[in-house]
Each structure stands twice: as C-alpha cells, then as structure tokens.
Amino acid sequence: MHVFAIIVTSLAAGVGLEWVVRNMLALRVWRAMFHLTADYPLTLDDWPTLSLVVAARDEEANIEACLTSLLAQDYPRLEVIVVNDRSTDATGRIIHGIAEKDARVRAIDIDRLPEGWCGKNHAMQRGIEQGRGEWILMHDADCKQICPRTLRLAMQYAIDTQADMLSLLPEHRYESFWERYLLPILTGVLMIWFRPSRVNNPRKRDAFANGMFMLIRREAYEAIGTHEAVRGSLIEDMDIARRVKARGLNLRVAPSTALFTVRMYASLAQIVRGWERIFIGAFRNVLGLTKALLVLTGRGLTPAATAAIGWAMIAAGAAPADWWLAAAIIGSVSLLAQLVMAARFSKHLKSRWVYGLTYPVACIMVAALLVKAMFKLRLGGKIVWRDTVYRIDQRTPGS
C-alpha cells in the first residue's frame, strides 16, 4: 500500500505540474501564435489567377450564404467553380441561379460516383479540372466569409512564406450545447498532435490541413497526383497535406481571426459520425488511435482520479496517512489547475468557459469516441458520410 500511495502521489504531482505550467504559459503561447487577420499587409500588385472550387452535396441551407460571401471578395482575378455533387435537395437550383447572375461562377453537375472514389474527392477533381488558375482554392460549402479581403490575405501570406500549400483554420460557430461542449476538446486533441509550429517546419514530418480552406499552387497539386492520388480517402485534406510534405514542398497552416466561420455539425449524432471519420483519417491506424487515447486519458483523467483515490483512502483510514493526504491535496490542486485551463481554452475558442469545468467528463466522452473509431478500424467497418456508405478497408492504400 505504501508503494501504491507513492505512485499515486507522484502521478498527481507530475501531471499537476504540467497543468500549472500550461496555465502560466497559455496566454503567452496563444498570443505568440501567428493568426492571419484582416490587418495583414497587402503588398502584391500583380495577383495570380485563382480558381476557387466548392463541392456541395445537399447544402441548400449553406450554399447561398457561402457563395454570396465568396463573390463579395475583392480578389481581382477570380473564377468560382461550384460542383453540385448528386444533391437531392435544392442545392443545384441555388447554384445555377447564382451562376446565371454572376459570370465568374461556373456550375457543374455530377449525377454518379465512380467506383473507388469518395464523393468530395471526385467532385473536387472534376471541378479543378475545369479551372484555369495558377492557384487553386478548395473551399467547403458550409463556410462563410466574413471579411471581403480573405482571399487576398491568404494569397499574400502564401507568397510571403513561399508556401506551395496554405490551409487556414476557421472560427467556429456554436449554436447548440453539444457543439459548445465537445468541439473545443475535440479540436484540442488534433492540435496536440498537429501543432502548426511543427507542421510549418520543413524538418518535421508532421502534416496537417483543414479541407475547409486549402490554397495550393496548381503545379504542386499536379505534382502530388491531384485528387486521383487520394480518391478513396475519407479525410482527403490530411492525405493531401501528407503528400505535399512527402514531396518536399512547403506546407503551411495558420489559424485565422475574423476572416471566415464554419458550423461543422449541428447535433451530437453528427459530431460522433464526423469526428469518428476525422480520427480514423488523422491517426490512420489502431496504434495511432491508441497513442491519442493514452495521452488524452493520461492528461485528462489523472488529476480527478488521483484526488478521488487520495480522499477515499483518507476516509477509509488507510496507511500511510501522510502519503494519502499528499496525494489527495496534490491531486485536488492538479484538478483545479486543469479545470481553470480548460475553462480558459473554451473561452479562447469562443465557447462558454463554464463547460471547461466538466473537462474530465468531456474527456471520457472523447475517449469513448476514440475507442469506437479504433474498433471500427480494426474490424473493417463502414462509415456513412453524406448519405454514402464507405468501407474503411477500401480507402486508397497509403492514404
């Protein structure tokens, strides 16, 4: 029992120290991290031609706002290609209506999905083939631009950093409890593994991209094999990023502030389906998912667990009493530091800080989602995405 008490106390102290340090450095790290904002200096005189491609499937609720915001951009040499991918709602009608009013918009209709392709990948391939721009911007239909300079800002930053591919991270719109509660911690899991500082370092293998906004040189896009190379990928943005970095090309990722927003998922069921797909694509195999699970539970549940064990042992009169008291106190301080940090992070991501106070519960829910993804990957199950069923074991090899 003496050894067990020392182990519990040591765990509480080690993890607690990490949470205390995180609290001390958080503001400095957040402020130091580069964010692309509307005041980024624009110095280009000759803007490259840009083909902006949007793939839309059953997006009648979002597509008009998306395209209207894109057409309000002040980018001077822009063509907009919108692919209506087998929609069964009013998406196609809305797209064609906008195309009739604006000559910059070209509408493409797809009525079938070829064998071996995921829907978005095929739609993007078809749309990009029709473009003539030196640069390509892949943009999601559920994103909305709130700054009319976003495209010029992104292009300027990409050229300034000599990027072959730039992916911007949006600001999230939360409209339900589950979005506000789970999305900050889900986002945090990815950011732990795919920190922008490592992704932007050409000496690191880390690769990450957000498919909502991916700007890439056409030469680079063709060099990595186009979407044909990732045709069966369920998370093509990550796989494109991996191929860009594997080719020795310059990959950049940057958070943005007040440029564009997205509402990813509207319900708990959508969050589970969407993030199951994201986790499988991001971590790629059972080992990767296991590592993420261990880090999440180790950091997320240790403070509460050690505090609970310590106080329970004291209540039971277990010996050695001094070690159990130390475990209880250190575990409680660790838990407090964790909850404060989680509340600050939720507020930083424009959710509600109070949700951070139940961080261990959210950790358990996210851990369950990782385990679910692990079993699905292990058993070669199916994923339903945009009303299309994909078998996991049919993904492109190496994607």
Asked if pLDDT for residue 106 goes beyond 90, the answer is yes
Mean pLDDT lowest for which of 171-175, 186-190, 201-205, 322-326?
A: 186-190
Q: What is the reported pLDDT for 264? A: 85
Highest mean pLDDT among 17-21, 23-27, 107-111, 339-343: 107-111
CA 15 to each of CA 27, 172, 203, 299, 374: distance values in angstroms, whole numbers, following the listed order: 20, 30, 29, 6, 26
Mean pLDDT over the full length of the chain: 89
Residue with token string 């719109």: 173
Rg, C-alpha atoms of the chain: 23
Asked if pLDDT for residue 273 goes beyond 70, the answer is yes
Q: What is the reported pLDDT for 385? A: 60
pTM: 0.87
Instruction: Using alpha carbons, select from 148, 127, 144, 145 the residue that is nearest to residue 136.
Output: 127
Q: What is the reported pLDDT for 388? A: 64
Mean pLDDT, residues 122-150 taken together: 96
Asked if pLDDT for residue 39 goes beyond 60, the answer is yes
Q: What is the reported pLDDT for 12? A: 86
Q: What is the 3-state secondary structure (H, E, C) of 215-282?
A: EEEHHHHHHCCCHHHHCCCCCHHHHHHHHHHHCCCCEEEEEECCCEEECCCCCHHHHHHHHHHHHHHH
- Could you tell me how far CA 300 lies from the centroid of its own chain? 20
Q: What is the reported pLDDT for 185? A: 86
* Close Cβ partners of 339 (under 8 Å, ≥ 6 residues apart): 356, 357, 359
Instruction: Give the CA angle between residues 200, 203, 205 to the nearest 5°.
Output: 75
- Residues 33 and 24: their CA atoms lie apart, in Å, by 16
Asked if pLDDT for residue 23 goes beyond 80, the answer is no
In this prediction, residue 266 has a pLDDT band, given cuts at 50, 70 and 90, of confident
Mean pLDDT lowest for which of 180-194, 229-243, 256-270?
A: 180-194
For 50-170+210-266, CATH number? Answer: 3.90.550.10
The proportion of the chain whose per-residue pLDDT surpasses 70, expressed as a percent, equals 93
Asked if pLDDT for residue 398 goes beyond 60, the answer is no
Mean pLDDT, residues 360-372 taken together: 92
Residue with token string 């400095």: 28
The proportion of the chain whose per-residue pLDDT surpasses 90, expressed as a percent, equals 59
Q: Are 89 and 63 in contact (CB under 8 A)?
A: no
- Residues 91 and 147: their CA atoms lie apart, in Å, by 24
Q: What is the reported pLDDT for 195? A: 84
pLDDT per position as a tens digit, 368-396: 999 988 888 776 666 666 666 666 654 43
Domain boundaries, the chain: 2-30+285-394, 50-170+210-266
In this prediction, residue 66 has a pLDDT band, given cuts at 50, 70 and 90, of very high
Q: What is the reported pLDDT for 391? A: 66
Mean pLDDT, residues 96-124 taken together: 94
In this prediction, residue 194 has a pLDDT band, given cuts at 50, 70 and 90, of confident
- Could you tell me how far CA 293 lies from the centroid of its own chain? 17
In this prediction, residue 220 has a pLDDT band, given cuts at 50, 70 and 90, of very high
- The structure tokens listed for 360 are 């261990």
In this prediction, residue 28 has a pLDDT band, given cuts at 50, 70 and 90, of low
Q: Where are the alpha helices (DSSP H) in 133-231?
A: 150-160, 177-193, 196-199, 218-223
Q: What is the reported pLDDT for 21? A: 82
Asked if pLDDT for residue 61 goes beyond 60, the answer is yes
φ, ψ of residue 334 in degrees (nearest 5): -60, -45
- The structure tokens listed for 271 are 């969050």
Higher pLDDT, 397 or 115: 115
Q: What is the reported pLDDT for 397? A: 35
Q: Are 261 and 41 in contact (CB under 8 A)?
A: no
